């Protein structure tokens, strides 16, 4: 008798005695067992906990598994398990918890002072555990009106270069620059920002 791996499907060896009914019954039982553990769960593997997942062997890239105690689906990329639907990769032998990601967004304006570059300090509403990824985008400008108002901004002319400088766990410096070298006049210059990282 031979068993396939990893599904343990039964098949008789060439030297085994011939017993059609017995052999077909054994093959039927082994196929049904494999179906119960794979097809019915819509996954290749079903684990009770992280220990069972990390003990899994003979995986193939693209296979998926489901861990019942955390209600989490995983996909195997050929070397590591990672949470299905995320790009967060989990080492099979070291990390057994879900990684939380914090995203914060905001808007700002900087008053022009007749120079080619502008910057201002931005403080995150919630601190990060480590320095996050921060993206700043230029939105447009308008004549100064005092209060923040990003409705009806002018976007004509040269788009400013926008960047995040001096990033830390608590904030960054929003930076705007005229790429042509011209001065940024007394207008209010508006920007958006997004920060992504691990919460403190």
How many other C-beta atoms lie within 10 A of the C-beta of residue 84? 14
Six token digits for residue 144: 């100064």
pTM above 0.85, yes or no: no
Q: What average pLDDT score do residues 87-114 get?
A: 70
Half-sphere exposure of 63 (CA within 13 A, CB side): 17
pLDDT digits (tens, 9 = 90+) for 36-58: 665 444 557 888 888 888 888 88
Three-class secondary structure of residue 116 per DSSP:
coil
Higher-confidence position of 186 and 120: 120
- Domain residue spans of the chain: 2-37, 42-90, 102-197
113 has a pLDDT exceeding 50: yes
C-alpha pair distances (Å), 28 with each of 9, 18, 23, 43: 9, 16, 9, 21
Hey, which of 21-35, 118-132, 155-169 has the most confident mean pLDDT? 118-132
What gap in Å lies between CA 155 and CA 151, rounded to an integer?
Answer: 12
- Asked if residue 178 lies in contact with residue 160, where contact means CB atoms within 8 angstroms, the answer is yes
How many other C-beta atoms lie within 10 A of the C-beta of residue 165? 11
- Which CATH architecture fits 102-197? Sandwich (2.60)
pLDDT digits (tens, 9 = 90+) for 68-98: 877 777 788 787 777 665 444 444 444 555 5
Angle at CA of residue 137, ends 132 and 138, nearest 5°: 150
CATH class belonging to 42-90: mainly beta
| pLDDT of amino acid 196 | 92
């Amino acid at each position: 008798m031979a068993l396939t791996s990893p599904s343990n499907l039964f098949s008789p060896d060439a030297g085994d005695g011939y017993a059609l009914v017995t052999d077909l019954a054994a093959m039927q039982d082994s196929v049904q067992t494999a179906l119960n553990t794979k097809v019915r769960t819509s996954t290749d593997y079903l684990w009770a906990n992280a220990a069972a997942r990390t003990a899994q062997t003979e995986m193939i890239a693209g296979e998926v598994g489901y861990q019942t105690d955390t209600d989490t689906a995983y996909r195997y990329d050929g070397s590591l398990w990672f949470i299905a639907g995320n790009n967060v990769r989990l080492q099979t032998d070291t990390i057994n918890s879900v990684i939380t990601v914090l995203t914060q967004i905001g808007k700002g304006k900087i008053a022009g002072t007749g120079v080619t570059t502008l910057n201002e300090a931005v403080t995150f509403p919630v601190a990060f555990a480590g320095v996050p990824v921060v993206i700043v985008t230029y939105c447009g400008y308008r004549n100064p009106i005092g209060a923040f108002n990003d409705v009806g901004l002018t976007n004509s002319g040269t788009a400013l270069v926008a960047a995040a400088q001096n990033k830390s766990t608590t904030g960054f410096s929003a930076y705007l620059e005229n790429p042509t070298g011209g001065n940024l006049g007394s207008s209010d210059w508006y920007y958006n920002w997004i920060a992504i990282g691990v919460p403190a």
